[in-house]
């Protein structure tokens, strides 16, 4: 297997689609080996196998399928393996299993982070996928399943969760099980299932896992800028989520302080709207545009005002007009 990384775009529902990949690729960046890998948003296994009406959009692997990883969301090994067999025929770099999503609408189906509750089952899933594909097989995890807690601070008052070994045994055993069944890569978003985005991503767990496993471990969570992305990438592969939506130029290694100027912000936003119209079905346009601007608006002064205006708008053209109007009213180098 080729070494992963150094950078990966995170799977993000309603965000990690072809239009965002086109936008990111459009920034002239370093040559191919340093360009990011792209994880797709989670693809529901039942919908994929049923041939749902929007599946072709979820499966669109452009513009660089050789750096694309499909993320599957499912609860059971049979359907997951059938879906992986379908994807195996497509041009792509790899297949990922979502074992980290903690949204109730997902966990009640038994998928996402629920898979971390049962090591035997998770191991069987990886073994079943390994039988149907030679593509790179990864799993994206959290620190532990629902109800899993890190040890409380010790009597000395020292925060036990600061220690890389606190509550680490379960995670390590779980990862070793997946590794023994043929997994090629772990992606760890080091938060607990119940935390959503609360607290901080505990990168010491990423480091600790790297020290113990023979397969690579990519870290993910809370990368807030180019410098931290670069410094984390020196330790191993890094997956970037929200920052890459706010700053789609981030992988070009251009530092954000010199960006964004008003013209670039406007041009990028308008270009994204065009890409959305081109690469997503009309039924998805508004939800995807709103999701994008939820993060992208943070580049502007009066971000909340702009976001609210965009959220109330009902067409992509109207959103474009709002962006143009906003850019005319703010100073040229208006950082928030
Ligand atoms: C809008 C949104 C949608 C997400 N959808 C997925 C998903 O489909 N699959 C997944 O594994 N993680 C999903 N995540 C979690 C991200 O992949 C990532 O783990 C998280 O955002 C932390 O990384 P960040 O701090 O760089 O954003 C989503 C996150 C966001 C903000």
pLDDT in tens, 9-32: 999 999 999 999 999 999 877 777
Q: Tell me if 272 sits within 8 A of 9, measured CB to CB.
A: no
- Which atom of ligand 1 is nearest the CA belonging to 244? 26
pLDDT tens series, the chain, 336 aa: 668 889 999 999 999 999 999 999 998 777 776 899 999 999 999 999 999 999 999 999 999 999 999 999 999 999 999 999 999 999 999 999 999 999 999 999 999 999 999 999 999 999 999 999 999 999 999 999 887 777 654 444 444 444 444 578 999 999 999 999 999 999 999 999 988 899 999 999 999 999 999 999 999 999 999 899 999 999 999 999 999 999 999 998 654 445 578 899 999 999 999 999 999 999 999 999 999 999 999 999 999 999 999 999 999 999 999 999 999 998 766 566
CB 222 near ligand 1, within 6 Å = yes
Show Cβ contacts of residue 291 under 8 Å, excluding neighbours closer than 6 positions: 14, 15
Nearest residue (by CA) to ligand 1, atom 18, is: 241
Predicted confidence (pLDDT) per residue in 215-263, tens digit: 999 999 999 998 999 999 999 999 999 999 999 999 986 544 455 788 9
Structure tokens at 218: 């990519």
Which one-letter DSSP state was computed for residue 17?
S
Report the alpha-carbon distance of residue 300 to residue 295 in Å, rounded: 10
| 238-240 vs 7-9, strand pairing mode | parallel
Architecture of domain 7-252: Alpha-Beta Barrel (3.20)
CA-to-CA dists, residue 303 to 34, 214, 312, angstroms: 32, 44, 14
CB 238 near ligand 1, within 6 Å = no
331 CA to centre of ligand 1 in angstroms: 33
**pTM, whole model, 2 decimals?**
0.94
- Cα 253 from chain centroid (whole Å): 19
Q: What are the φ and ψ backbone dihedral angles of 104, each rounded to 5 degrees?
A: -55, -35
CB 250 near ligand 1, within 6 Å = no
Q: What are the φ and ψ backbone dihedral angles of 180, each rounded to 5 degrees?
A: -65, -20
Instruction: For ligand 1, pick from 241, 284, 298 the residue to mutate: most ligand atoms within 8 Å of CB.
Output: 241
């Amino acid at each position: 297997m080729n070494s992963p990384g150094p950078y990966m775009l995170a799977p993000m529902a309603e965000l990690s689609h072809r239009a965002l990949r086109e936008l990111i690729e459009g920034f002239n960046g370093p040559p191919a080996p340093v360009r990011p890998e792209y994880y797709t948003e989670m693809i529901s296994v039942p919908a994929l196998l049923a041939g749902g009406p929007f599946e072709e959009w979820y499966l669109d692997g452009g513009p660089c399928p050789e750096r694309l990883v499909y993320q599957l969301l499912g609860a059971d090994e049979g359907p997951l393996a059938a879906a992986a067999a379908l994807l195996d025929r497509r041009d792509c770099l790899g297949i990922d299993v979502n074992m980290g999503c903690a949204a109730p609408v997902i966990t009640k189906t038994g998928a996402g982070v629920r898979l971390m509750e049962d090591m035997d089952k998770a191991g069987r899933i990886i073994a079943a996928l390994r039988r149907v594909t030679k593509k790179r097989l990864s799993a994206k995890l959290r620190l532990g399943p629902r109800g899993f807690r890190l040890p409380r601070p010790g009597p000395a008052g020292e925060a036990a969760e600061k220690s890389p070994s606190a509550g680490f045994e379960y995670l390590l055993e779980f990862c070793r099980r997946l590794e023994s069944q043929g997994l090629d890569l772990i992606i760890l978003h080091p938060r607990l299932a119940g935390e959503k985005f609360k607290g901080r991503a505990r990168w010491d767990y990423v480091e600790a896992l790297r020290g113990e496993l023979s397969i690579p471990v990519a870290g993910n969570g809370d990368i807030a800028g180019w410098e931290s992305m670069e410094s984390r990438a020196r330790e191993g592969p890094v997956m970037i989520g929200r920052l890459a939506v706010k700053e789609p130029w981030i992988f070009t290694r251009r530092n954000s302080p010199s960006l964004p100027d008003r013209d670039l912000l406007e041009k990028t936003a308008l270009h994204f709207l065009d890409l959305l119209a081109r690469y997503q079905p009309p039924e998805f346009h508004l939800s995807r545009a709103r999701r994008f601007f939820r993060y992208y608006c943070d580049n502007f002064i009066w971000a909340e005002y702009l976001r609210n205006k965009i959220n109330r708008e009902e067409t992509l053209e109207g959103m474009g007009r709002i962006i143009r109007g906003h850019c005319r009213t703010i100073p040229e180098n208006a950082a928030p």
